[in-house]
Structure 1
């Protein structure tokens, strides 16, 4: 539930010329890797830990993303939930509660981390200070929000062989959410119907 909420609702000082150049290179590198995929579909495995490293929750599911701004995140039973966005609205459906929550999509990247993968990547440097490191075929990016009202303190994106591999979010109390992406497919045709949602008959609807 917490990750779903973060996906929904989810200050660089010029200390030296080298630091500025490194940040600029990191932005360019991340933009290149994100722009290569106009669609992404994959399985995911998610693990949430508290500040001491104790496991809080483990789930798995399926995701689909399509630029610009379309995403679908389906968590498997027994904690089944479905999050769908058409780029303007977001539907969060909990079948156990028979409840649908509808929100306007927050376009701020610091409040909607999923938009890093499916949104306008040109806005990344406006929202984050970015650093990166490369080791062999693995590239890691650390994104720190410039806004003080962000829902997370840092976000790590990792690519292996130029393909999205995993993601980690850390919040202000040290809670970590680790997401591993499996069987990633890029630039395959995705039906736009994946990114629309029909409210099930009898479901309670909450507008936020």
Structure 2
């Protein structure tokens, strides 16, 4: 009987550990994300297929402001501008002279930018989270809990409390690596950064 009780206690303890670890990881990630009410940075983005072959390489600038406002500008020659005021999203392609307007999907698993600019209280509802920390570097791995997602896993890495890079892997193994540099946090940002005026003559697609 003592053995049975001992084994039962061990089983319950082991079952509880992953939950505790996830809660600790979610709390640590929330702590780091909440440090920045606003954020600006340069970024470089590299997309690879499942075999590691390079598909695309771009660079640009981002600006984020809680809650849910972001601006993602990709440099030429593949220029695009993605802007959200927290309710709507505008995607502008200068080459095509086309603007696509959508309602912002508030699900973190459908709008990765919301992980950095949105309501961090939703993170543990949307993801199973684990992390490891060493010498000022904290790496988080986020696995979506739902099946209807844009990616299968997401990694966020912080160095000395500042976002450094992120990697998304989709269902076919394609990887998107985004490296941030010249990061500035909690500086005043003009409200106009997060609104978009449709250029004269541009085609508009409302979804």
1:74 equivalent in structure 2: 73
Q: Is residue 15 of structure 2 the alignment partner of residue 16 of structure 1?
A: yes
2:199 aligned with 1:200:
yes
Residue of structure 1 equivalent to 2:3: none
Give the superposition deviation at 1:154: 0.2
TM superposition score normalised by structure 1: 0.93
Name the CA distance, whole Å, in 2 between partners of 1:15 and 1:110: 29
Distance 2:176 2:64 in 1: 20
* 1:155 counterpart SS class: strand
Map residues 1-208 of structure 1 onto 2, 5 A cutoff. 16-208=15-207
The total of aligned residue pairs comes to 195
Cα distance in 2 for residues equivalent to 1:44 and 1:161: 18
Pairwise CA distance, 1:161: 0.2
Displaced runs of 4+ in structure 1, greater than 2 A? none
- Give the C-alpha shift of residue 15 in structure 1: 6.4
Query: Aligned-pair RMSD on alpha carbons?
Result: 0.9
Distance in 2 (CA, whole Å) between partners of 1:177 and 1:23 is 25
Q: What is the CA-CA distance between 1:185 and the residue it aligns to? A: 0.2
Q: CA deviation at 1:135?
A: 1.4
Give the corresponding residue for 1:4.
none
Taking the aligned partners of 2:124 and 2:54, their CA distance within structure 1 comes to 33
Q: 1:18: Cα distance to partner?
A: 1.2
Q: TM-score, normalised by structure 2?
A: 0.93
Structure 1 gap ranges (5+): 1-13
- In the superposition, relative to structure 1, how do residues 169 and 15 fare at CA in structure 2: closer, same or farther (>3 Å)? farther
* Distance in 1 between residues matched to 2:173 and 2:86, nearest whole Å: 30
Separation in 1, partners of 2:97, 2:150: 27
